[in-house]
Homo-oligomer: A and B are copies of this chain.
Amino acid sequence: MSSKHLGSGTTCPPLEEGKLRIYSMRFCPFAQRAILVALAKQIPHDVVNINLKNKPEWIFPKNPMGKVPTIELATGQVLYESLIVSDYLDDVYPNRPLQSSDPYQRALDRIWIENFGKVISVFYKLLQSRSDLEEFQKNLQALQSELSPFEIELARRGTTFFGGELPGMVDYMIWPWIERLPIMKSFFPDLNDYENAKKENPKLEQWRQAMKEDSAVKEFFLSPETHIQFAQSFLAGNPNYDLLEGSE
């Protein structure tokens, strides 16, 4: 289900002929963006997982920051930054376009993806405030404020997904953090706030259920329990990258 995360002292596996390579970390939401695009567009690819705490020497010539996602084309050319990589893959592989062919709609969708940065920022604040109930509840409210424009926009579009009747770029770019939101329930399990959030965002809740049925999302989906298990190891300073190794 997930290959071992390669660290310092390892050798980079040779590229498979004609295949796109995605350097990833199994639990990284940014890397998940690129992988969802590759899966949705059925781009032949392999995934090489990297130990981000003990990075392999061979990643730096490809990406000076050694971050994931980094992609390597069959030609050996390299790109990184999750949104740039995702746009590139959508531009180059014509199968199942994820962006509108109308430049104005494409620009609007980019603004929505950009705005989702505020949700991402609250997501990490929630993790940081996990032992301070008052701060945590304040951040849950901030999360609701940042999600609320997405609820309104989805109602305005009147479609199942932001992309229409199939998920598009907005859907796949925001999904990784939505998949991980249940992590938050593990910190203060008795709060009512989680259920209230679902009631306040009925369209997003329907969208979330529909996303879980999408084949690309399904293929890379991890259960809340697994995300919680990884998050706990990560927050303890000892990320268990190979949690899934050997499992299936």
Q: Which A residues have a C-beta under 8 Å from some C-beta of B?
A: 64, 73, 77, 79-81, 84-85, 87-88, 91-92, 103-104, 106-108, 110-111, 114, 149
Interface centre among A77, A85, A87, A104 (most CB of B within 10 A): A104
Supposing A88-B104, A92-B103, A103-B91 touch, asked if A111 and B80 sit within 8 A by C-beta, the answer is yes
Which partner residue on chain B sits nearest A71 by CB separation? B107
B104 near A79 with CB under 8 A, answer: yes
B103 touches A84 (CB 8 A): no
Number of copies: 2
Task: Report whether B84 and A114 are in contact in the complex, using a CB–CB cutoff of 8 Å.
Answer: yes
**Docked pose: A85 CA to B104 CA in angstroms:** 10
Residue from B79, B103, B108 in contact with A107 in the complex, judged by beta carbons closer than 8 Å:
B79
Q: Across the two chains, which residue of chain B brings its CB closest to A78?
A: B108
Beyond A77-B104, A79-B107, A85-B107, 16 additional contacts (C-beta under 8 Å) are A73-B104, A79-B104, A79-B108, A79-B111, A80-B111, A81-B110, A81-B111, A84-B107, A84-B111, A87-B107, A88-B103, A88-B104, A88-B106, A91-B103, A91-B106, A92-B103
CB-defined contacts of A92 to chain B, threshold 8 Å: 103-104
Q: Which of chain B's residues has its CB closest to A90's CB?
A: B103
How many Å lie between the Cα of A79 and that of B104 in the bound state?
Answer: 8
Interchain nearest-CB distance for A107 vs B (Å): 4
Q: What residues of B have a CB within 8 angstroms of the CB of A73 in the complex? A: 104
Closest to A85 in B: B107
